[in-house]
Amino acid sequence: MLNIEQLNVYYGESRILSDVSLNVPDGKVVCLMGRNGVGKTTLLKSIMGAIRTRKGKMTFDNTEITYRSPYVRARAGIGYVPQGRGIFPYLTVYENLIMGLEALPDKSPDHKENAAKIEELYGLFPILKVMSHRVAGTLSGGQQQQLAIARALIRRPKLLLLDEPTEGIQPSIVLEIERIIASLKDAGGMSILLVEQFLDFALSIADYCYVMEKGSIVFQGAADDLSDETVKRHLAV
């Protein structure tokens, strides 16, 4: 679903990503791990097109997207939940969900279809239905995270990018997010690239793992192959 080859990304003259190659197979959950500041978020922003690539190649669903605009990537089927959630704090929960439909190629107002999509999401995130008319900025951190994920899911992306969805979230909501990702994986039809530092959470749902250090991939393999030595060397604080 996503193939990245020898990606190099710079901020000014500082190279942040160095020859990064990564693959997300169709219908699988891939986790990218690493300490703070190693380039994980930069990679997700590069995939979304928010940061320009200087060298390398990105292919999504058999189409090269290396230099495509972010809105083109979104309409092609990439959903992005950024670190910090990025909700619209002064809109209601319902209005935030409707905003998620803006990325669809055909935005004709089929109200019945939109209502069905929202009800489907309320089934995944029951608390959002209860709070549908609440201003999003008044929700707890965990509820805002659920809203951010739901807003990305409303247009049923082929690839979902999640940037540290458990950051600052209470344990009960972490379990809820784990359940939702597992259900999306079981349903099929969606690939997920997850950036995460919570090791137990990541390994419980990932099919494949990459570990990044100083802008480069230093380990890749099945989740079960991530050894204690690798964790100690590249992930332990």
Please give the structure tokens belonging to residue 14: 């500082």
197: helix, coil or strand? coil
Single-letter amino acid code for the residue at 211? V
Q: Residue 49: its pLDDT value, please?
A: 92
Q: Residue 133: its pLDDT value, please?
A: 92
Q: Residue 69: its pLDDT value, please?
A: 92
Rg over alpha carbons for the chain, rounded to the nearest Å, is 17
Q: Are 198 and 31 in contact (CB under 8 A)?
A: no
Rounded Cα distance, 126 and 159, in Å: 23
Residues of the chain with pLDDT under 70: 103-111, 227-228, 232, 234, 236-237
Domains of the chain from N-terminus onward: 2-234 (3.40.50.300)
Q: Residue 59: its pLDDT value, please?
A: 94
CA proximity to 169, closest of 190, 134, 191, 139: 139
